[in-house]
Amino acid sequence: MSALPALAAAAFLFCATAAGAATIEITIDRLEFRPATVTARPGDTILWRNRDVMDHTATAKGKFDVVIPAGASGSAVVNADGVVEYLCRFHPNMKGRIAVGR
């Protein structure tokens, strides 16, 4: 029974952390990330919604590589402060920026 309070505390911490995180939506439309620049906090989820008829990616070297099929969505969590520049590997002229800070 002594493990039960520890489990309850861990569950509370997990819920408190998850509750404070936001989801930031970026739409992919006509070969553009819209908006091209967003601001996030560590722990936030970036959700890309692909409205195009072709597949795209959101790729930040060493951070994430999310494949986003046509008509679908994909996501990644940002964890560290700083600026994350990303692009679509299939269409390198598509670029976005996430400014992560507290």
Please tell me the CATH superfamily of domain 22-100, with its number. Cupredoxins -  blue copper proteins (2.60.40.420)
Confidence (pLDDT) at 89? 98
CA distance 64 to 5: 36
The DSSP code sequence of 58-91 is EEETTTEEEEE-TT-EEEEE--SSEEEEEE-SSS
Residue-range domain boundaries for the chain: 22-100
CA distance 44 to 8: 24
Tens-digit pLDDT profile for residues 40-79? 999 999 999 999 999 999 999 999 999 999 999 999 999 9
Confidence (pLDDT) at 19? 58
Residue 90 near residue 57 (C-beta atoms within 8 A): yes
Confidence (pLDDT) at 20? 85
